[in-house]
Each structure stands twice: as C-alpha cells, then as structure tokens.
Amino acid sequence: MPDAKLVENILRSYREHGGINHLDGANLPSREAVADILRDLLRIVFPGFYDRAALASNQAAAVISETLASVARRLNQEIRKSLAHHRPAPATDSPGPNPSTEARRITEDFLAAIPAIRGLLAKDVQAAYEGDPAAMSRDEIIVAYPGLEAISVQRMAHHLYNARVALIPRMMTEWAHSRTGIDIHPGAKIGSHFFIDHGTGVVIGETTTIGSGVKIYQGVSLGAKSFQKDAQGRLVKGTKRHPNVEDGVTIYANATILGGDTTIGARSTIAANVFLTRSVPPDSLVFYEETDLRIAPKRRPGGREPAPDFAI
C-alpha cells in the first residue's frame, strides 16, 4: 500500500492546484475511445487500406454497415460527454436541445457527410500523385504518406468543429499530430487538392484559410503574428489570427507565414526559410537574396518579363 502521508500530500496538491483537476464533473470524452473511432473511420473512408485482411467488394456492404453501426454508437457516446462538459449557451432563454438528442443529431450529420469528405480526400490523393514524382501509385499515397492521414483526420474533425463539438475535434487532430508530426487545427478551412509533402513539423493554425490546389512542404508554419489582449491582459479568443493562402500557392520547406491580415496571392511561390508577415500579390515569387527578402512577379507562359524585384 502507498504511504498514507504521500497520499495526503497528493490530495493536498489537488486542493492547492485545482486548475489541473477534473473532479466531481461530467465524464470527459475518452482519448482511447476517440483514437479507436478514428481508426474505424479511416477504415470506412479508405476501405481495404486500413484493414488487416483483404476486403472484397461483395463484403463491403456488410463490413461497412457493421463498422458504421459501431462508430455511430461510440461517437454518439463521446459527443454526449462533450456536450455535458461544454454546452454552448442557447440563443434564447429556452433550455436548448436535450444533450442526448443533440448528440444523436450531430452524429448522424457527421456520418452523412462521409461521402462528401471522401470526395475531397480523393482530390487530395490526386494532388499528391500528380505533385510528387516519387509517388508510384495512389495506393502508396494512402498507405504511406503522413500528410494524407493528417488531412484525412482534419477534414473529419473540421466537420465536428463546425458543429461546435468541444474537445473531440482537437483530440482527433492531436492524435494525427502524434502519428505524423503534422499539426493542423480542426478549425482551419482547407480547399480541395491539398498536398503536404514530407510533412514533419507543419503547423496550420485555427483561423487559417487555404484555397484549392495548395502544396506545402515540411516545417511550414501558418501561424499568428500577435495575440490581442483585453483590458485585464488576457488573450482574446476567436479572432482571425492566421494567414489566408489563395489557390495554387506553393510554400517550400521551413517557411513561416504569420498574421490574420496576411494573404498569399493565388499561384504564388514562397521559397524555403522565408519569414513573412505581410501580404503578397498573386503570381509572386518570394525569396531571400543574401539577407534581403524579395518579392518578384513570376514568369508566366506567354506573358511579359517580370518587373524588377524589390526588398522589404
């Protein structure tokens, strides 16, 4: 048996440091349960790729039906826990929807969105295959590319984030983060044909908006430049803090782009190691020349010669 004095000392620390306790409160969503649900969701989204045994087409209906029923039951339970822990304030004086009813509705809406999520992921696989000369097949991308797994989980978590489910979306993306080294907040808005090459160390913040056909490499950070504070010095939540990346942009390794008012114009290229806190127009090439950061118009097929670059 543990020493009684040690137990009392630990209990005293609970009283003294209450901000890291969760005692006498509602049961929180389970990290292990969320991880198990994600594994089964990946089996549904990519049938035959996450299964231990081969999956024949004549088995798919039965296997998917059984897996969906299990996911629905478990996800409903975890969402119900989340709603009990943190229920958004109702818009009126009415008590709001019943947590069990609301959890069931959110679960059903999420599962109904899986075909649309698969449509986006098919385009992400296509972008990876067309954007990486080392990719020998789409199968290789699905079974081996960490970027695809990270964005797969984020696209599912984003749906629950938009449904205002607390805790679970972030638990989902942090599970992917721990597996892939890629940290994409569930709130980030990401268009189609998104490709993260290599991926380790990529960080994409909550209020980032990414267009279609964007390609980024390892170590890229799309982050906040500064944090607004209130009169008491506390961080203001919910503000736009992260960049906008328009269609067709390529961002090379270890580039850092910061700020909610920073927009990277369509079809621009950001070179490796660039640190950028201001917007750039469409069709720009941003790079370092010695110690100066330069922005130059890119050469367009059939277009005029680029204007002289300039330092900022």
Across 284-301, average pLDDT: 84
- pLDDT for the residue numbered 274: 97
Give me the helix-helix angle, 31-45 and 114-131, nearest 10°.
70
For 4-8, 122-126, 130-134, 203-207, which range has the lowest pLDDT when averaged over its residues? Answer: 4-8
Across 266-272, average pLDDT: 97
- pLDDT for the residue numbered 37: 98
- pLDDT for the residue numbered 92: 60
- pLDDT for the residue numbered 308: 44
Number of residues in the chain: 312
Computed from CA positions of residues 82, 84, 89, 94, in that sequence, does the dihedral angle turn out positive or negative?
A: positive
For 98-112, 163-177, 216-230, which range has the lowest pLDDT when averaged over its residues? Answer: 216-230
Q: Output 139 or 20, whichever has higher pLDDT.
A: 139
Helix (H, G, I), strand (E, B) or coil at 18: helix
Residues facing residue 256 across a β-bridge: 221, 275
- pLDDT for the residue numbered 310: 41
What domains can be seen in the chain, in order of their start residue?
A: 24-182 (1.10.3130.10), 188-312 (2.160.10.10)
Tens of pLDDT, residues 38-64 = 999 999 999 999 988 888 888 889 999
Q: Tokens 């959890």 map to which residue? A: 103
29 phi and psi angles, rounded to 5 deg: -55, 145
Cβ contact 283:268 at 8 Å? yes
Cβ contact 274:287 at 8 Å? yes
What is the CB-side half-sphere exposure of residue 170 using CA atoms within 13 A? 8
- pLDDT for the residue numbered 85: 82
Residue 128 scores a pLDDT above 90: yes
Across 255-260, average pLDDT: 98
Q: In whole angstroms, what is the distance from residue 44 CA to residue 53 CA?
A: 14
Residue 129 scores a pLDDT above 80: yes
Tens of pLDDT, residues 82-97 = 998 876 555 566 666 7
297 phi and psi angles, rounded to 5 deg: -60, 140
- Percent of all residues in the chain with a pLDDT value above 90, rounded to a whole number: 71
pTM for the full model?
0.89
- pLDDT for the residue numbered 290: 74
Pairing of β 189-190 and β 244-245: unpaired
- pLDDT for the residue numbered 186: 98
Average pLDDT, the chain: 91
- pLDDT for the residue numbered 166: 95
Across 67-82, average pLDDT: 97
Q: In whole angstroms, what is the distance from residue 296 CA to residue 59 CA?
A: 55
